[in-house]
A and B are shown apart, each in its own frame.
Chain A
Amino acid sequence: MPALQLDNVRKVYRTGDQQVVALNDVSLTVQNDEMMILVGPSGSGKTTLLTVAGALLRPTSGGVRVGGADITDLDDKRLAGFRREEVGFVFQSVNLVPFLTAKENLLVVRQFGGSRIDTQARKRADQLLDELGLGGRGSSLPSQLSGGEKQRVAIGRALMNDPSLVLVDEPTSALDSALGQQVMDLLRREIKGRGVSAIVVTHDDRVLDYGDRTVRIVDGALETGAQ
């Protein structure tokens, strides 16, 4: 069963009388354990594709299946639960909670919807921080971390709940090239090591080699042969 399947997805933004077709009849399958790189010009619909795939936005039409489950018609509450259980986001702007330590930022996802922060969760957070080379920084606040360290904490948070799909928006845009490569290395290792599927959006050509496959999007449509 594929990790993610988009069937003829359209997403139209309406602002006033204006309409923007951000995704135009997109069909896409991401296999289990596959790391897909998504590239395209600015405004081509990359972020929109991630938000639809990650159940943050409902498509205007078309179907979204994650791990075989159709999420197109779920209500807000179910979608929140679905995001918590199945999806890991790494946002472009990192978005750590500023008054929580690195470790607490990983544990945030365990505070919602009846899950608990137990010894097992703490162990997992410690282990992830270790793997991400942040073993000693668990009690640091985001303001005390470098840009690369923050990116790595965000990756840890995305992996914390053992998602089946990880969505990463421009992980290297704020980093210099050495740090960018290091973060991509880590990301690939973590994702491949866990058998998780991922879509990584990037502008950065040096990142292309890290993926199993590269897909181009232009004006909301995937280039032919992409699927």
Chain B
Amino acid sequence: MSIAMKELIRRPGRFVSVGGALTMLVVLLVVLGGFLDGLELNSTGPYRAHEGRLLVFSDGSELLIQRSKVDAGQAEQLTSSDGVAAVGALNQIESTAGAGQGEIVDIVLFGYDLPTDAIPSPPVDGGVIVDEALADRNDVAVGDTLLIGAESEPVAVAGIVGDLSQGSPTVWLSTQRWREIVQSGNPAALPPEGTDQALVVEPSAGTEISDLAASLGGLDGIAVVTPDEAIKALPVVQQQSSTFEGIIGVTFVVTLLVVALFFTLITLERVHLYAVLKALGARTGNLMAGISAQAVGVSLVALILGLGLSLAFVGLLPADLPVRLVPARLLQTAVGVVMSALLGSLFTLRRVLHVDPAEAIG
């Protein structure tokens, strides 16, 4: 074990200040990342419900479903293309649902044709599937009746699926029933007969989703994208991620500066020790490796403590706050913190370089 690691283990008190600061920064990074992911997940449920499928929008819609209009001819073209198992409609409208004791909540009402891994086939009897966001928060159970829209169309709840929020909870029913409800409540918003807002393409077995997207991309008048691509095009997602990523980036810079400051100060204290080690034959590189090892060591401990604290903190938050800890984000935070610490530790190079071994003697 190197001298630097022995110091870290035998004199942990010296590193408490930087370790504590890094732990707090880790908590901040994890919680910020959790909010970013939570907000994104909270506004993209219907897209993620179509994982493994392709979504089709009209050209010029900028991949936004409420601006898109796809006609039957285009649907027919897709259906007859290679690698396509089925094509279904996907339409949405912002609406309301009255549940139980007359309380009314905002929902997004989806009309659809094809089942996915997350949603079963649309009920044929005109019933609805509701997501957990509505079921849990408003005490809706299978068999209850919801009153949808301005005209309070009654629908029976036939099933409950996981949280598919798109800002508001979502309610899913057959395309035909969707058209009936929109017709009666808000006829101006109804796409003309034979057109839909968007289409869902189910690939045939053994077809790679990316290959299919590429081969269908040539068709005129439409854009064929994966759910992920559609999510990235959502203005709400773009705004949230640029805001949060800005804050997260600044936090990484702060982390780097904290480490740089701490080790620069500690290097001042160690000038004599470093002079002695240089006199004994240590090179600047040996000493820098020690400093970087300490910075990485401290940041790893801070990561463990910070993750633990974040889990506890997130557990204390009210359940309806949209915070989600996603493994990929946690990994990114961990790598970012270690890299910031490593880079920060390199700020001592100039001072270590200037330590004169001759100062050790006399």
The chain A residues found within 8 Å of chain B, CB to CB, are: 47, 50-51, 54, 56-57, 76-77, 80-81, 83-85, 89, 91-93, 95, 97, 99-100, 104, 108-109, 111-113, 157, 161, 169
Contacts and interface: CB of A to CB of B under 8 A. Distances in A.
Contacts of B10: 99
Nearest to B281: A84
Contact of B360 (A56, A77, A104): A56
11 contacts: A56-B358, A80-B281, A99-B6, A100-B3, A108-B3, A108-B277, A109-B280, A112-B277, A112-B280, A157-B280, A169-B361
Interface in B1-51: 2-3, 6-7, 10-11
A93 B360 CA distance: 9
A91 to B, nearest CB: 6
B351 interface: no
A84 B357 CA distance: 12
Contact of A104 (B6, B278, B280): B6
Given A50-B361, A111-B3, A169-B361, A99 B11 contact: yes
Contacts of A93: 362
B interface secondary structure, majority: helix
B14 to A, nearest CB: 9
B330 interface: no
B72 interface: no
Contacts of A157: 280
Given A56-B357, A99-B7, A92 B362 contact: yes
Interface residues on B, range: 20 to 34
Contacts of A84: 280-282
Interface of B: 2-3, 6-7, 10-11, 272-273, 276-284, 286, 357-358, 360-362
Given A56-B357, A56-B361, A80 B7 contact: no
B286 A89 contact: no
Contact of A51 (B276, B282, B286, B361): B361
A114 B279 CA distance: 17
A111 B1 CA distance: 9
B283 A77 contact: yes
Contacts of B272: 95
A83 B281 contact: yes
Contacts of B361: 47, 50-51, 54, 56, 89, 91-92, 169
A108 to B, nearest CB: 6
A89 B360 contact: yes
B279 A83 contact: yes
Interface centre among B11, B281, B283, B357 (most CB of A within 10 A): B281
B7 A89 contact: no
Contacts of A161: 281
A92 B283 CA distance: 22
A113 B6 CA distance: 19
Contact of A112 (B11, B276, B286): B286
Nearest to B10: A99
Nearest to A98: B273
A153 to B, nearest CB: 13
